[in-house]
Amino acid sequence: MRDPDGLIARAGVRGDPDRDQHFLIDDRVLDRLPTYLTEIDADTSHILEIGGGTGALTDRLLAVADAVTVIERDRKLASFLREEFAADIEAERLTVIEGDALEVEMPEFTASVSNLPYGVSSEISFRLLPESRPLVLMFQQEFAERMVADSGTSEYGRLSVSTQHYADVELVETIPKEAFSPPPAVQSAVVRLEPREPEYDIDDEAFFLRFVKALFTQRRKTMRNAIRNTGHISKLADPDAVVDAADEDLLQKRAGAVTPAEFAALADLATDVSDRTDDG
């Protein structure tokens, strides 16, 4: 396997915290990352990597995948990857897409392993999650803990509900700052997400996600007041009608104590009430 420090030297670059660039240089961590896919028998025939950097992880992914596609926004790094992995590109095992992962067309892939730019972790995650593919992603540890949090805990929030709507999520490893060059200000963590259908049915997924977002803006309020106060965000035509129709025990809870299934049931109730209001 290619030496991470050697790759940085050959690329002639340094990580830049101001641009959210922290290169993973710990060989042991790099070697472990692909195993979080293989130990769940995920389809590794075509792995997507977002933020290829100097290619240390790319090198490990090529060892387990038939094909790898890398999205890299930095022009110099994208050029280096094409040069360093020219043989793999020639063999049609590697594709390098130069561009922003939030803007480029999402390529076909069977799974993703990525050390994401932390500043856009949430946006990229929610481009990937609806694709229903196994994901192994690296985040700031606090962000990762919020993804996996259960209702009733202090970390539980909109991110927890939205993530767990799409996948079973597990924090599989904590990564110290020293594993990166330059070290980031905070510890990192690796999260594995296995796609599955939610345990509940919803009529309107876009509304459900918007409704959850709205209610967590008022997480210190009871659900009764949160529903009434956020109609401009959720776009509810008649929040009071939703409150009148909802279960009293649920209305007395705060958002942090409401499970994803309860949010889903409330969102469907809100949709039904809204439809009746429109019909009336």
Binding residue positions for S-adenosyl-L-methionine? 22, 24, 51, 72, 100, 115
Alpha-carbon distance 93 to 89, whole Å?
6
- For 85, the token pair is 């992995």
Virtual CA dihedral for 33, 34, 39, 43, nearest 10 degrees?
140
From first CA to last CA, the distance across the chain in angstroms is 67
Closest CA to 277 of 232, 243, 229, 251: 243
β-pairing, 135-140 with 188-195?
antiparallel
Phi, psi for residue 272 in degrees, rounded to 5: -65, -45
CB 138 within 8 A of CB 100: no
User: Per the annotation, where are the binding residues?
Assistant: 22, 24, 51, 72, 100, 115
> ∠ at Cα 68 (63, 70), nearest 5°?
125
Closest by Cα among 105, 77, 87 to 10: 77
Helix (H) or strand (E) segment spanning residue 208: helix 205-216
User: C-alpha angle 153/154/160, rounded to 5°?
Assistant: 70
